[in-house]
Amino acid sequence: MFIVNSYALAVVLCFVTMLCWGSWGNTQKLAAKSWRYELFYWDYVIGMVLFALVLAFTLGSIGNEGRPFLADLAQASRESILWILLGGVIFNASNILLSASISIAGMSVAFPLGVGLALVLGVVNNYRVAVMQGSKTGNVALLVVGVLLVVCAIVFNGIASSKKGEGEVSKADQRKGVILALVAGVVMSFFSSFVMRAMDTSNFVSPAPGKVTPYTAIVIFTVGVLLSNLVFNTIVMKKPFVGEPVSYKDYFAGDLKTHLVGVLGGCIWCLGTALSYITAEKAGPAVSYALGQGAPMVAAIWGVFIWKEFQGARKGVYGLLIAMFCFFIAGLAAIVIAGK
């Protein structure tokens, strides 16, 4: 299977993760012109599962290093599988909340608040797991500085969102979007540490018996997302956060182009997550997760400059957004150096 053998390549791939995690929301914005996010989310999840399987049978099964996907899956312990499935369920609950927040408050608010908070709490969880497993942890002091800088960026984004013009969204709905993003961030911070428990992040070439490779992990993870979606998204379809209920009949009434947009979104997210797992050995679980979760900066750029989500905002809001970008960049730089 394909294994990353240098820290420099791991950092590059972590930045690809960041781009993927920060950009998949564009597909939701595109689909939203004629498609409710609850319906979009089904195609998104299907895209995740399909892309995970493609990765497993290609990069996860070729080459001379490590166990190929099917052999790795066959030897996986029940405990490892359950940890990963639990991670998928937790992620799905948080991501549905994040998608709801995007549909209400926009990418430039939902991602920095929700995913930024998940970065801060998730780094702590992943660092704890890395210590338990004896994996690479990096420079703790610099990692803390990087996380604190990201916290500052989140604060500036929160202030900016309070000055955002109403546009088509009422103040009440805007507050609901912010609350959903914050709850999503808290829940999302736990999923990665559960997945890392099932992987031998110190040795992908010869993982410990019962532990799985990143390619097996991403497949089991997306299956957990799909299974939990039968419950979570069905509930949200019947009792949406905003708007009228939608049905499965509405989903099957969508055209092929609309469905493919959602599938593309799932593929983009899955690529980013797979790379986050693949780089965990060389970068360390905490650093690989933290760099990937720089996605809020990418999403904010899309939201501010492409989707014009702050158009008509109060005076001074763009200064706050610039401060947010600066703190995010500084925080990510500290995290990269921390991993060396």
Write the DSSP assignment of 198-214 as a string of letters: TB-TT-SSSPPTT-B-H
Distance CA 122, CA 213 (A): 21
Q: For 22-45, how does the pLDDT look when each residue is reduced to its tens digit (9 = 90+)?
A: 898 899 988 887 789 999 999 999
pLDDT at 248 over 70: yes
Rounded to the nearest 10°, the torsion over CA 224, 225, 228, 234 is -160
Q: For 84-112, how does the pLDDT look when each residue is reduced to its tens digit (9 = 90+)?
A: 999 999 999 999 998 888 888 887 778 77
pLDDT at 165 over 60: no
Q: Is residue 148 part of a domain?
A: no
Q: What is the mean pLDDT of residues 200-227?
A: 94
Q: Is residue 313 part of a domain?
A: no
Q: Is residue 88 part of a domain?
A: yes
At residue 168, φ and ψ (nearest 5 deg) are -95, 0
Q: How many CB atoms lie within 10 A of CB 44?
A: 29
pLDDT of residue 164: 64
pLDDT at 136 over 80: no
pLDDT of residue 124: 77
Helix (H), strand (E) counts: the chain: 17, 0
Total length of the chain: 340
Distance CA 233, CA 309 (A): 26
Q: Is residue 150 part of a domain?
A: no
pLDDT of residue 299: 76
**pTM score, two decimals?**
0.83
Q: For 46-95, how does the pLDDT look when each residue is reduced to its tens digit (9 = 90+)?
A: 999 999 999 999 999 998 888 999 999 999 999 999 999 999 999 999 99
**pLDDT band of 340, cuts 50, 70, 90:** low
Q: Which residue has the tokens 């070439």?
A: 205
Q: Is residue 334 part of a domain?
A: no
Query: What is the percent of the chain with per-residue pLDDT over 70, rounded to a whole number?
Result: 94
Q: Is residue 41 part of a domain?
A: yes
At residue 187, φ and ψ (nearest 5 deg) are -65, -40
pLDDT at 167 over 60: no
**pLDDT band of 151, cuts 50, 70, 90:** confident
Q: What is the number of domains present in the chain?
A: 1
Q: Which domain holds residue 42?
A: 7-136+169-296
pLDDT at 134 over 80: no
Q: Is residue 194 part of a domain?
A: yes
pLDDT of residue 113: 81
Average pLDDT in the chain: 87
pLDDT at 125 over 90: no
pLDDT of residue 162: 67
pLDDT at 7 over 90: no
Q: Is residue 1 part of a domain?
A: no
Distance CA 143, CA 129 (A): 15
Q: For 172-213, how does the pLDDT look when each residue is reduced to its tens digit (9 = 90+)?
A: 777 888 899 999 999 988 888 899 899 988 889 999 999 999
